[in-house]
Amino acid sequence: MNKPAFKILLVDDDREMRASLEHLLGRAGWKVEAFADARIALTRLADLAPDVILSDVRMPGMTGLELLAALDKNNAPPLVLISAHGDISMAVQAMQDGAYSFLEKPFDPRQLLRVLQHAAENHRLLASTKRLRKQLAQLSGIDRVLLGPSPAMTNLRNEVFEIADTQHTVLIQGETGTGKELIARALHSMSPRCDHEFIAVNCANMSSKSMDLQMFGTTDGPLGFFRKAEGGTVFLDEIAAFPVEAQAKLLRVLETGEVIPVGSDQVTFVNVRVIAASNENLEAKVKNGGFRADFLFRLNTFQIDLPALKTRGEDVIIIFQHFLAQAAQTYEIEPPDLTAADTAALLSYEWPGNVRELRHVAERRVLAARRGGGSVPAAMRLEEGEHDVPETLREAIAAFERTLICKSIYTHSGRMDAVAEALGIGRRTLNDKIVKLGIDKEILLPE
């Protein structure tokens, strides 16, 4: 993949100067987004993600110095200031406040291009370093999920590494908590697209009415997920929940790369890789009319099936010990030893929350050890009250309701409308019961 052109956000209220700079930068191979108003430019900064900002100092509304002060110093691209009214004290103050450079008009065009190129190269190098650190952390995460010596897990690891280097769409299937998003991020991190955006989209939170705007953006406003991820990856999580009537539009993007922003009739071509994930049987949804067959065919060019934790036998012990060691390091204690009762509890449990639930149990076990006690069954909340019968009918009903609601949240991946429908109660009633029963949804919801 060729190295993309540098992107610059140009801010100058002088129309002639703005046009002159656009021409200079365009001839030098830069991709230029120009604005006359710094306030408007600031609102578009996140979407445009430039490598450098070039701004005049004296402008109505918001000056270049005020723009500098408004930037997030930890994440914003470098800002180069230009001015026809500058002096030494202004330049020194601007540099102390975080400006990359300060040039006085009239400036040497070659010097300006050199300064801008150095600024952009430094920004990309810093961003690349941050991404590398993040990728390394994510790759250690894939080891957590795919840990285990069994031939099935060895084959699965090899499959993930081989698929990462391709450009094809991938469908990841598995129960809630098996690590689908982590696998998707690893596929992106190990691919040639790793220097570009990875954008995760929760399809369960999207309606047919909002789909076009969120996915494809507008001509002059938000870019939308697909244009923002240019050169990178779009991860469509919970794809089974995506509205059937909107699937044809995404199918067109997968087949042709064509995107039409809202309010426009102009086709824009995007270069993105799509990875989708589902905890539901999509073939069954095709049969009952809840999913388009041609859409599924496009999504599952490659398919990765993540096994439920309960089917992985003694892998549970290996993964648990890994989580235990990590949590112990975080809380600066020695990892507690596993007893025979601990091992029996880990192997006999069904693990409806899969690897995510296992991690939470390991964290609770370490916290208990830090206080000088605890056991794995207690951390699993099996020991306390396991054999106790509630003293009153009200307590028995509350315990039963809590079990049903937790199980339904697991089953429906945290989609609360689906949980309420499955339980036959209203959404408001469900919310009231979750609060009353002290249910922690964060442990049950997808990461």
Q: Sketch the domain layout of the chain as residue ranges.
A: 7-126, 146-305, 310-379, 393-444
7-126: CATH, from 3.20.20.70, 3.40.50.2300, 3.40.50.300, 3.40.50.720: 3.40.50.2300
Only one residue has tokens 């209203």, namely 426
**Tens-binned pLDDT, residue by residue, of the chain (447 aa):** 456 789 999 999 999 999 999 999 999 999 999 999 999 999 999 888 899 999 999 899 999 999 999 998 878 899 999 988 766 778 888 888 888 998 888 889 999 999 999 999 888 877 765 664 455 445 445 555 677 766 777 788 888 888 888 889 999 999 888 888 888 988 888 888 888 999 999 888 877 777 888 888 888 888 889 999 999 999 999 999 888 888 888 898 998 988 888 888 888 899 999 999 998 889 989 998 889 999 999 998 899 998 888 888 778 888 888 888 888 888 888 989 888 878 888 888 888 888 888 988 998 899 888 888 888 888 887 534 343 444 456 666 776 677 678 777 767 777 888 888 888 888 888 888 888 877 766 655 544
DSSP, collapsed to helix, strand or coil, labels residue 415 as coil
* Calpha distance 123→195 (Å, rounded): 13
Half-sphere exposure of 160 (CA within 13 A, CB side): 25
Q: CA 260 to CA 64: how far, in whole Å? A: 34
Q: Pick one of 1.10.10.10, 1.10.8.60, 1.10.260.40, 1.10.3860.10 as the CATH number of 310-379.
A: 1.10.8.60
Residue matched to tokens 């060019």 = 301
Looking at residue 353, what is its pLDDT?
86
CATH C-level class of 146-305:
alpha beta
Cβ contact 98:68 at 8 Å: yes
| Cα–Cα distance measured from residue 153 to residue 142, given in angstroms and rounded to the nearest whole number | 12
pLDDT at 69 (0 to 100): 92
Is the bond leading into 352 cis (omega within 30 degrees of zero)?
no
Closest CA to 447 of 226, 203, 180: 180
Identical fold between 7-126 and 146-305: yes
Specify the CATH number of the domain 393-444.
1.10.10
pLDDT at position 393 is 62
DSSP state of 310: G
CB 404 within 8 A of CB 434: no
Tokens linked to 415: 């989609």
- Range 411-414, long-range pairs (CB < 8 A, 24+ positions): 411/176, 413/176, 413/204, 413/238, 413/279, 413/445, 413/446, 414/176, 414/204, 414/441, 414/444, 414/445, 414/446
Of 169, 165, 369, residue with least CA distance to 255 = 169
